[in-house]
Amino acid sequence: MLRTHTCGEARHEHVSREVTLCGWVDSSRDHGGAVFVDLRDRYGKTQVVFAPEGGSELVAQASRLRSEDVIRVTGKVAPRPLGTANPKLATGEVELRCRQLEILNRSKTPPFTPGQQDLPAEDLRLRFRFLDLRREPMQRTLILRSRIIKAMRDHFEERGFVDVETPILGRSTPEGARDYLVPSRIHHGAFYALPQSPQLYKQLMMVAGYDRYVQVARCFRDEDLRADRQPEFTQLDLEMSFVDAEDIMGMIDSLMARLARQFLDKELTL
């Protein structure tokens, strides 16, 4: 294994244990003889110390590390010296005393760093989207989205729904907006349409006897931007047979109550 732990995992109980971490150099400080590096991955940060006892060559190699270099380090976890603990970090009571350093990838000077306070304009962040996605707020947002979608799928699976992935390339159907069209290479002059919603497919599922269908669906509509709509978006799509309006609303109400309880720690009165 390239790593034994993540950069947000080390705690006091790991002291004296040898671990291997992989991540990005968040910051580095040369204190004249010893180099301190904050190593970052999506799980957190760990302070890595390159001390003279590890060898002058190792310290010299560490002194050349720059922001966003990707490295692999191996060493023993040790408690931080008295008075140097960082309460802002989950790993702030310990540090890694490095004995081996491997540079996996050198980074060019980035146009901005994920941890800087004053963010550049949005067009620059979108141009270098991979850097923007390394920022902690962006990571929290994407991870939260992943957890919400999993909770939604769990909710419907527990209630007998079948999660079906429907086609993206299909036939144009009359709906509320213009379709995005994709030319067919095989059938000259013919086009596929990107779905505005899985409307026909979920109705097909109902006729076929799958009485409870659900999907987190990608939808495409060739229309002007609105406050709550863009050309490509994601929607929770479901269909039920042998039910009435109260059944549908009750299913969604229970979902929202579950999400509020799990992610907001609030109880909704239904």
Torsion angle of the four alpha carbons 83, 33, 37, 112, in this order, in degrees rounded to the nearest 10: 120
Query: Which residues are bridge partners to 217 per DSSP?
Result: 235
Whether residue 10 contacts residue 91, with contact meaning beta carbons closer than 8 Å, is answered with yes
The residue with tokens 């969604």 is: 252
**Strand 212-220, strand 162-163: pairing:** parallel
Say what the pLDDT of residue 189 is.
Answer: 92
* Paired tokens of 27: 């910051």
Residue-wise pLDDT for 213-233, tens only, equals 999 999 999 988 877 778 999
Cβ count near 95 (within 10 Å): 23
Q: Is the pTM of this model over 0.75?
A: yes
Would you state the pLDDT for residue 31?
85
| Cα 158 from Cα 163, distance rounded (Å) | 12
Q: How wide is the angle at C-alpha 42 spanned by C-alphas 126 and 16, nearest 5°?
A: 155
Counting every residue written for the chain, the total comes to 270
**What letter does residue 154 receive in the DSSP assignment?**
H
- pLDDT tens by residue, the chain, 270 residues: 799 999 999 999 999 999 999 999 999 999 888 999 999 999 999 999 999 988 999 999 999 999 999 999 999 999 999 999 999 999 999 999 999 999 999 999 999 999 898 999 999 999 999 999 999 999 999 999 999 999 999 999 999 999 999 999 998 877 778 899 999 999 999 999 999 999 889 999 999 999 999 999 999 999 888 777 789 999 999 999 999 999 999 999 999 999 999 999 999 887
